[in-house]
Structure 1
Amino acid sequence: MTAPPGSLLRGPLLRETEAGWVRGETLKAGHSHSWAWLGVPYAAQAAGPLRFRPPQPHGGWVGIREARSFGPDVLQPLDPSVTLTPSVEGSLLLNIWTPARPAPAGGWPVLFWLHGGAFRAGSGRLYDGRELAARGEIVVVSVNSRLGPLGYANFGGLFADDRFAPNAGFQDQVAALRWVHANIAAFGGNPARITAAGQSAGAAGVSLLLGHGSTAPLLAGAILQSGGLNQVSDLDNSLDIARAYANALGVRRDNLNALWTLPPRAFVAALHTLEGVRKRSLNSRPFLDGVLLPTTRAELLARPLAPVPLLIGANREEYSLFVRLPDRIFQKIDRTYLAHKLEQQASPERVLKILSAYPDTLEGLTALGTDLFFHTPNDVLGDAHPAPHWRYRLDWGTKVAGLGATHGMELLFLWPRPMGLSSALMRGGQARQRAALAHRMQTAWLNFVREGSPGPDWQPGSAEQPNVNVLSLAGLSVEAEAERKRRALWDGLVVPMP
């Protein structure tokens, strides 16, 4: 290491990265403390001429960069559950938390976290890693990457123009993982012990990292929470989405260069436009580009995966969020809509058999959507995984709006305020029992990051023995027979998200 300017300023919170020196701060973390470095660039700001480019190395800075507060969120709509502070285009930053003491020889294991938000919104800022780092003696890293049309619109394919990087948002995630592998030792992390984890869209990103040639060798483990490869779009759909964005932005081939000069707010407005005209669809998502990702869905599912331990699961009533609280993304979901999605992938006889297993009620619709879009993709990925894997299901549910164990509920047991100001409302009562469940879950997740296994009480899964480790206020239990029946009904069917 070279001495920072003014070597007398050197201290335990000064760290040298490839781009320069950063200074962190000490934070209170429960009954302990954590060191944190916030808003650290892992690439140059992706704006101006870099708006549609792959992530570029940061040019560095002179002196010491203060890393004691979060940087701005990457460009996205204002959302009370994420932020009401205006975001900034191309803000490619990450946050690092460690125990508040020097690392042991070899360094601490690393948790590399990708947030959810349907590839349209979200922030690593919501996942404060100080308590996990202090309690688990690990390094926690949360990442921001490009979202919305600037992250995933296939303008390059639509206009046959290679100035547009395909899947720029995923390329950001690749760059962030590479940055962590190259720099985390300076913060006390062990680059040979990186576990990538994510929820919803973040879990889809981790699924892609597991099978990507340049990132798979960097991983020691993976955690997938309520998300997977069924969120990836095929090429034709990506072109439809890009065409809709181009129309919303008023861009054609003869004025294509306007895409570099439009103000950032125009891309947020275009996202809102698509969510009005392309309802019940993901309008921002990775796509099969034939360059970074395979060309077909079959090739995507057949890719070799990193042979590392896998923790994978979902919540009991994932789909209730979209049934009971329809929003900009999934509006007015009903049984007919899900039946239509099934008919696109299965024979009429098979569709009838599946639908007959789910009553035509609100609860039956929730169970059908949960199995269709969350549990069955996990079946296929878990069975194909070349290393030990453990399945989980969270059965605790919030009382708010009758949502139950819906999408995102497991986050409340792993992070302090993952839903911003609404976190306390969603948690509700039963504080002592919830604290015990949070302790069990955090212990399992930390064991997995440190040792590659959630613990001796957890049962690994396989196609022959489909164990699911059920997490509830009553404790940990293992369910197999009901899983075997559910899996026989679906028999490996994977339906892409709309």
Structure 2
Amino acid sequence: MNQYTFEIQKPVVQTKFGQLRGVTYGDVNIFMGIPYARAKRFHMPEEPQAWTGIKNAYTYGPITPQMLPPNPPPYYRGLHMLQKQGEDCQNLNIWAPKTLNGEKKPVFVWMHGGGYFAGNALEEYSFDGFNLAHYGDVIFVSINHRLNILGHLNLADYGEEFSNSVNVGIADLVAALKWIHENIAAFGGDPENVTLCGHSGGGGKVQCMYQLEEAAPYFQRGIVLSGALKGSLEMSDHDSRQIAKSILEELGITRETIEKIYEVPYEELVAAYRKAAPKLREAGVNCNWSPVPNDYFPGFPGTVGFAPGSADKPIIYGSTLGEFANVPLDTDEKMAMTEEEKLRFLRERFGSQADHLIDLFRKAYPTHDILDLAYMDSMVRIPTAATALEHAKNNKDNTYVFLAAYCAPENGWIPLWHGGEVCYIFMNEDKVFVLNEPVYGQKLANIFSTLVLNFTKYGDPNNKYLPKWEPMSAVHHHTMIIDRECICKEGHDEELVTLFDQTSPKISFNFI
């Protein structure tokens, strides 16, 4: 039975825009669905409307409408398919431990994944902020914002008012950070000690904040978890304009009648996109939603380098050994394979380079089953290492890189997959049963949560559960390998990852 109960006396705080009433669970005050901005469709966010009296913040606010089809890929069947959706989605949630004597606690800001098209602030049960706030003694904030066609439709060709419509999704995040900076002290938080953290698309959003000049005053450091993706997940200005043109043609809207765009139901916008997308893809247009470089957003740091305003801020880059592994073996097949059968499988998969890859893998990961080679990732790992190295050029010794190489008891023990580490960071491993392994589930929760908490509080992830973690530099490519036994190594598998990338089957993403 849970040891905590909700208190009858409810906490009330005064914000810049009015009073909020939350709930108290154990020693944590919780406020949900707080409006941090408002916006006209496809326009930049503005401050929220002030209110009189006390606004109840008992329930989660609406999330951005989801473009996912009725039968999305299994890894996107999350809670966001069940929550209330609406275009007034600029809201955030706060878990705030009770404070004594006016102390100000560090602030941890979570930016959710799902690319730039799906997801929300409570995307999975394991993303709840209570445990990290309670045990870690930090203020936990999670953010909802505009996504997909509402956050990244490039209407710049249709009027000056739409000059940045392609980036209003990340502009919402800046508005949220501004709200946090101006109001978090009322919840016991320190506005001058704010750490951003995001996974996958959320990690990309953290990188976007490093690039935006107006975001720079509102945070001190960042954590990018499997978020340094490049290539097919980044839209170009040309492609984004082509998408908008095709959608508007499907809707019968021209520059002269662009005002009609405000009245088109969201479902019709999506239907027009789905009708236009196949032809666009055939013509080579990238139809995956994302921020686009323009006068507001200079581009992702892995492509254009880090913007001067935040280039010196500490950062952690992390990825997993497995990420998006696509191996056609079920548990029984894998567990029944002999060593010779595993080698034969790898040789069929990797061809003439298989034996060289096997030798490199055994050298880099001597405690792993040789079949783990098939589950390796390079799609995330290569841009992660490259972007971290770009950050290390600041010569501040504040670039940290980790690789989660732990094998989990799923599908016959496979390397940790995309997002597998997040439940450990939030101390919610008990909510993901396949990762709540006896002994090691708790051990990994201690490792991941403590490295994140120490970084959030002090800017340094080193802690008692890890060996000495050296930062990456332009010369020394240190990586903390988080496994059953952790070790910090320098360039331990660079040749392996490069060769793997050249020989392994490629994965492409067209979610919608």
Please state which band the TM-score falls in when normalised by the shorter chain. Answer: 0.7 to 0.9
Task: Give yes or no for contact 2:239–2:287 (8 Å, CA) kept in 1.
Answer: no
The equivalent of 1:80 in structure 2 is 77
What amino acid maps onto 1:69 in structure 2? T
Query: Helix, strand or coil: the match of 1:243?
Result: helix
Question: For residues 193-208 of structure 1, what are the structure 2 equivalents within 5 Å?
Answer: 193-208=193-208
Task: Give yes or no for contact 2:211–2:301 (8 Å, CA) kept in 1.
Answer: no
Task: Give yes or no for contact 2:196–2:219 (8 Å, CA) kept in 1.
Answer: yes
The equivalent of 1:440 in structure 2 is 447
In the alignment, the residues of structure 2 paired with residue 355 and residue 381 of structure 1 have an alpha-carbon distance, to the nearest angstrom, of 33
What amino acid maps onto 1:294 in structure 2? P
In the alignment, the residues of structure 1 paired with residue 152 and residue 450 of structure 2 have an alpha-carbon distance, to the nearest angstrom, of 35
Over 3 Å counting, the alpha-carbon distance change for 1:297 and 1:379 in structure 2 is closer
C-alpha offsets along residues 307-354 of structure 1, whole Å, 9 cap, x if unaligned? 222111111122316x779xxxxxxxxxxxxxxxxxxxxxxxxxxxx9
Over 3 Å counting, the alpha-carbon distance change for 1:417 and 1:88 in structure 2 is farther
Task: Kindly indicate whether residue 512 of structure 2 is the aligned counterpart of residue 463 of structure 1.
Answer: no
The equivalent of 1:39 in structure 2 is 33
Task: Give yes or no for contact 2:324–2:377 (8 Å, CA) kept in 1.
Answer: yes
In the alignment, the residues of structure 2 paired with residue 162 and residue 401 of structure 1 have an alpha-carbon distance, to the nearest angstrom, of 51
The equivalent of 2:235 in structure 1 is 233
C-alpha offsets along residues 387-424 of structure 1, whole Å, 9 cap, x if unaligned? 51111111124454576322111112123669xxx963
C-alpha offsets along residues 40-78 of structure 1, whole Å, 9 cap, x if unaligned? 00012x3xxx11111111111221000111112122136
**TM-score scaled by structure 1?**
0.78
Over 3 Å counting, the alpha-carbon distance change for 1:356 and 1:373 in structure 2 is farther
Question: For residues 44-55 of structure 1, what are the structure 2 equivalents within 5 Å?
Answer: 44=38, 46=39, 50-55=40-45
The equivalent of 2:59 in structure 1 is 69
Task: Give yes or no for contact 1:39–1:95 (8 Å, CA) kept in 2.
Answer: yes
C-alpha offsets along residues 78-117 of structure 1, whole Å, 9 cap, x if unaligned? 6631322341113100001111x22454500101111110
The equivalent of 2:335 in structure 1 is none
After alignment, is 380-389 or 451-460 more displaced? Answer: 380-389
Q: Give the Å deviation of 1:366.
A: 4.8
In the alignment, the residues of structure 2 paired with residue 429 and residue 296 of structure 1 have an alpha-carbon distance, to the nearest angstrom, of 35
What amino acid maps onto 2:120 in structure 1? S
Query: Helix, strand or coil: the match of 1:118?
Result: coil
Task: Give yes or no for contact 1:324–1:401 (8 Å, CA) kept in 2.
Answer: no
The equivalent of 1:27 in structure 2 is 25
Task: Give yes or no for contact 1:467–1:483 (8 Å, CA) kept in 2.
Answer: no
Task: Kindly indicate whether residue 121 of structure 2 is the aligned counterpart of residue 117 of structure 1.
Answer: no
In the alignment, the residues of structure 1 paired with residue 455 and residue 262 of structure 2 have an alpha-carbon distance, to the nearest angstrom, of 44
Task: Give yes or no for contact 1:22–1:64 (8 Å, CA) kept in 2.
Answer: yes
Query: Helix, strand or coil: the match of 1:124?
Result: coil
Query: Helix, strand or coil: the match of 1:21?
Result: strand
Q: Give the Å deviation of 1:241.
A: 3.0
1:451 to 444, 448, 458: 458
In the alignment, the residues of structure 2 paired with residue 398 and residue 246 of structure 1 have an alpha-carbon distance, to the nearest angstrom, of 47
In the alignment, the residues of structure 2 paired with residue 140 and residue 119 of structure 1 have an alpha-carbon distance, to the nearest angstrom, of 22
In the alignment, the residues of structure 2 paired with residue 85 and residue 57 of structure 1 have an alpha-carbon distance, to the nearest angstrom, of 24
In the alignment, the residues of structure 1 paired with residue 409 and residue 296 of structure 2 have an alpha-carbon distance, to the nearest angstrom, of 42
What amino acid maps onto 1:454 in structure 2? P
Task: Kindly indicate whether residue 304 of structure 2 is the aligned counterpart of residue 294 of structure 1.
Answer: no
Task: Give yes or no for contact 1:437–1:475 (8 Å, CA) kept in 2.
Answer: no
In the alignment, the residues of structure 2 paired with residue 26 and residue 14 of structure 1 have an alpha-carbon distance, to the nearest angstrom, of 10
Query: Helix, strand or coil: the match of 2:439?
Result: helix
C-alpha offsets along residues 220-260 of structure 1, whole Å, 9 cap, x if unaligned? 21111111373543322322332343345443334322211
Task: Give yes or no for contact 2:111–2:121 (8 Å, CA) kept in 1.
Answer: yes
After alignment, is 179-188 or 382-391 more displaced? Answer: 382-391
In the alignment, the residues of structure 2 paired with residue 479 and residue 297 of structure 1 have an alpha-carbon distance, to the nearest angstrom, of 25
Query: Helix, strand or coil: the match of 1:142?
Result: strand
The equivalent of 1:253 in structure 2 is 255
The equivalent of 2:416 in structure 1 is 405
Q: Give the Å deviation of 1:121.
A: 0.9
Q: Give the Å deviation of 1:152.
A: 0.7
C-alpha offsets along residues 241-290 of structure 1, whole Å, 9 cap, x if unaligned? 3234334544333432221101122234445556656669562100001x
In the alignment, the residues of structure 1 paired with residue 375 and residue 454 of structure 2 have an alpha-carbon distance, to the nearest angstrom, of 35
Task: Give yes or no for contact 2:64–2:145 (8 Å, CA) kept in 1.
Answer: yes
Question: For residues 348-387 of structure 1, what are the structure 2 equivalents within 5 Å?
Answer: 366-383=376-393, 386=396
In the alignment, the residues of structure 1 paired with residue 250 and residue 426 of structure 2 have an alpha-carbon distance, to the nearest angstrom, of 37
In the alignment, the residues of structure 1 paired with residue 200 and residue 475 of structure 2 have an alpha-carbon distance, to the nearest angstrom, of 27
Task: Kindly indicate whether residue 135 of structure 2 is the aligned counterpart of residue 135 of structure 1.
Answer: yes
Query: Helix, strand or coil: the match of 1:125?
Result: coil
In the alignment, the residues of structure 2 paired with residue 373 and residue 154 of structure 1 have an alpha-carbon distance, to the nearest angstrom, of 26
Task: Give yes or no for contact 1:149–1:245 (8 Å, CA) kept in 2.
Answer: no
Equivalenced residue count is 440
In the alignment, the residues of structure 1 paired with residue 279 and residue 440 of structure 2 have an alpha-carbon distance, to the nearest angstrom, of 44
Query: Helix, strand or coil: the match of 1:96?
Result: strand
Task: Kindly indicate whether residue 495 of structure 2 is the aligned counterpart of residue 482 of structure 1.
Answer: no
In the alignment, the residues of structure 2 paired with residue 357 and residue 52 of structure 1 have an alpha-carbon distance, to the nearest angstrom, of 52
The equivalent of 1:494 in structure 2 is none
In the alignment, the residues of structure 2 paired with residue 165 and residue 215 of structure 1 have an alpha-carbon distance, to the nearest angstrom, of 16
Query: Helix, strand or coil: the match of 1:444?
Result: helix
In the alignment, the residues of structure 1 paired with residue 146 and residue 432 of structure 2 have an alpha-carbon distance, to the nearest angstrom, of 29
Task: Give yes or no for contact 2:426–2:449 (8 Å, CA) kept in 1.
Answer: no
C-alpha offsets along residues 136-163 of structure 1, whole Å, 9 cap, x if unaligned? 111011001100011011112x435433
1:319 to 307, 320, 324: 324
In the alignment, the residues of structure 1 paired with residue 380 and residue 224 of structure 2 have an alpha-carbon distance, to the nearest angstrom, of 16
In the alignment, the residues of structure 2 paired with residue 357 and residue 238 of structure 1 have an alpha-carbon distance, to the nearest angstrom, of 42
Over 3 Å counting, the alpha-carbon distance change for 1:223 and 1:65 in structure 2 is same
Over 3 Å counting, the alpha-carbon distance change for 1:393 and 1:278 in structure 2 is farther
In the alignment, the residues of structure 2 paired with residue 182 and residue 429 of structure 1 have an alpha-carbon distance, to the nearest angstrom, of 38
Over 3 Å counting, the alpha-carbon distance change for 1:114 and 1:282 in structure 2 is farther
Question: For residues 304-315 of structure 1, what are the structure 2 equivalents within 5 Å?
Answer: 304-306=308-310, 307-315=312-320
Over 3 Å counting, the alpha-carbon distance change for 1:486 and 1:213 in structure 2 is farther
In the alignment, the residues of structure 2 paired with residue 397 and residue 149 of structure 1 have an alpha-carbon distance, to the nearest angstrom, of 37
| Unmatched segments (≥5 aa) in structure 2 | 1-8, 69-75, 330-352, 359-370, 501-507
In the alignment, the residues of structure 2 paired with residue 270 and residue 401 of structure 1 have an alpha-carbon distance, to the nearest angstrom, of 39
In the alignment, the residues of structure 1 paired with residue 392 and residue 269 of structure 2 have an alpha-carbon distance, to the nearest angstrom, of 37
Over 3 Å counting, the alpha-carbon distance change for 1:104 and 1:387 in structure 2 is farther
After alignment, is 405-414 or 236-245 more displaced? Answer: 236-245
The equivalent of 2:72 in structure 1 is none
Task: Give yes or no for contact 2:195–2:223 (8 Å, CA) kept in 1.
Answer: yes
Task: Give yes or no for contact 1:40–1:94 (8 Å, CA) kept in 2.
Answer: yes
In the alignment, the residues of structure 1 paired with residue 297 and residue 120 of structure 2 have an alpha-carbon distance, to the nearest angstrom, of 24
Task: Give yes or no for contact 1:76–1:121 (8 Å, CA) kept in 2.
Answer: yes
